[in-house]
Copies of this chain bind each other. A is one copy, B any other.
Amino acid sequence: MAIQSITEQHLEALSIGAGVLGSGGGGNPRYDYLMARQAIKRHGPVRLLKLDTLADDDFIIPLCFMGAPLVCMEKLPTGDELRALVAHTERRFQKKVTALVPAEIGGGNAFVPFFIAGELGLPIVDADEMGRAFPELQMSSVHLLEPNSGPALLADEHGSVVTIDTPDTKRMETIGRAVTVSMGSVAALMLHAMTGKTAKEALIAGSISRAVEIGETILNARANKKDPITALVHAQNGAVLMQGMITDIDHAVNEGFLRGIVRVDGKISGELVYQNEYLLARVGGKVAAMTPDILIMLEQESGEPLTTDRLAHGLRVAMVVLPSPTLWTTKHGLDLVGPRAFGFDTDYEATWRQK
């Protein structure tokens, strides 16, 4: 049951669902939620396009913010970055944009196209490139289909726009990261501008609807005084891997990433490693779940997902895992976003699914 348009009433559920699919990354969705709400209040609901209804010659651009989530909290988007991105993209491609799409459904980035869709009179495609959140540019379903589908355009709130053309994805990431840091550690990004034809082949369908659905599951459980954690793992075929209190957090921002480790002690103890997103869970000294499965930390009582920048000592939490979008567990998918892509010396396994 896909949604036809996103109204103010969908935004809270979208915020929670995007937080869950964010796997801890993509920035704190509450701020982006507020900005999207303001835009929808002013310009009205945003039409959502089903992926398979796109015309082949549509021109679709993914939007997101790139950077370290701790910094995003200190430096809010103004919208000027996104206006500059759309204008420079249209100039570069000599084509009018026909629809926007979130680059990643996970975290605050789910809301980014909503900041300007209404103002520009553009619909948003109910899809994304990740089906969750990931920390690096090449970790995208479009990249998986068409490597080197540049250019990347980065913009800051002063209207500076940097266009990166390179045949080499590693260099795209290295240069893009350096530009982001020089723009104040957060920048608006347009990467993988594509035709409707490519979008239909490459994007992950229904991501926005799915996020709203996840959010509604948690909100309904709360409203009915049921346990939101149980409701979530039941509705999304997940599992609870840790339950207890946060007793240790060790993290730092460097090279534009927030990297760290968080420890939970209680009913089921364990620890969770992250690099913007939660990547690997250890329970009882053993690896219990890992990327590309969706690892999430939630407040036990409310079921509110916790981004890596909102972890705090003493919080009562549950750590939940949801299954990865299927394209990421293929061989090529794992090369891009499996545990080895993040420097872990282990092959992907989903032993938790057997329990």
Contacts and interface: CB of A to CB of B under 8 A. Distances in A.
A158 B178 contact: no
A165 interface: yes
B160 A171 contact: yes
A247 interface: no
Question: DSSP class of A's interface residues: helix, strand, loop or mixed?
Answer: mixed
Interface of A: 88, 156, 158-168, 171-172, 174-175, 177-179, 181-183
Nearest to A177: B182
Nearest to A173: B182
Given A178-B179, A182-B177, A183-B175, A88 B160 contact: no
A182 B179 CA distance: 9
A161 B171 CA distance: 11
Contacts of A163: 162-165
7 contacts: A158-B167, A158-B168, A160-B164, A160-B166, A162-B164, A162-B165, A178-B179
A178 B178 CA distance: 6
A224 to B, nearest CB: 51
Contact of A166 (B159, B168, B172, B175): B159
B156 A161 contact: no
A165 B174 CA distance: 19
A88 B165 CA distance: 9
Contacts of A183: 171, 175
A334 B343 CA distance: 51
B171 A158 contact: yes
A174 B179 CA distance: 9
A160 B177 CA distance: 15
